[in-house]
Amino acid sequence: MPQELSIETATHGRVLIEASAAPAGTIVAFHGYGQSADEILNDARKIPGADEWTLVAPQALHRFYARGDERVVASWMTRQDRETAIADNVAYVDRVLQSENPQIPKSPTLLVFLGFSQGVAMAYRAALVGAHAPAGVIALAGDVPPELKAGGGVRDWPRVLVGGGDADRYYTAERVAADESFFRERGVAANIVRFHGGHLFTTEFRAAAGEFLHELRRR
- Give the pLDDT confidence score for residue 106 in this predicted structure: 73
Helix/strand/coil for 78: coil
All domains of the chain, ordered by start, with CATH?
Answer: 15-159 (3.40.50.1820)
pLDDT of residue 56: 97
Provide, rounded to the nearest whole percent, the portion of the chain with pLDDT above 90. Answer: 90
Q: What is the mean pLDDT of the chain?
A: 95
CA proximity to 123, closest of 169, 70, 179: 179
- Count CB atoms within 10 A of the CB of residue 104: 18
User: What band does 70 get if pLDDT is binned at 50, 70 and 90?
Assistant: confident
> 184 to each of 58, 127, 194, 213, how far by Cα in Å?
31, 18, 16, 21
**What is residue 217's predicted lDDT score, i.e. its pLDDT?**
94
Is the CB of residue 122 less than 8 Å from the CB of residue 102?
no
Residue pLDDT, tens place only, 18-34: 998 889 999 999 999 99
What is the average per-residue pLDDT within 185-191?
Answer: 97
Identify the band that residue 67 occupies on the pLDDT scale cut at 50, 70 and 90.
confident
pLDDT score, position 103: 86
- pLDDT > 80? residue 151: yes
Distances (CA, A) of 158 to 110, 124, 126, 186, 187: 12, 10, 11, 12, 11
> CA angle, corner 122, sides to 101 and 42, nearest 5?
60
Q: What is the DSSP letter of 35?
A: B
Q: Whole-prediction pTM value? A: 0.96
Rounded Cα–Cα distance for residues 216 and 97 (Å): 20
| pLDDT score of 107 more than 90 | no
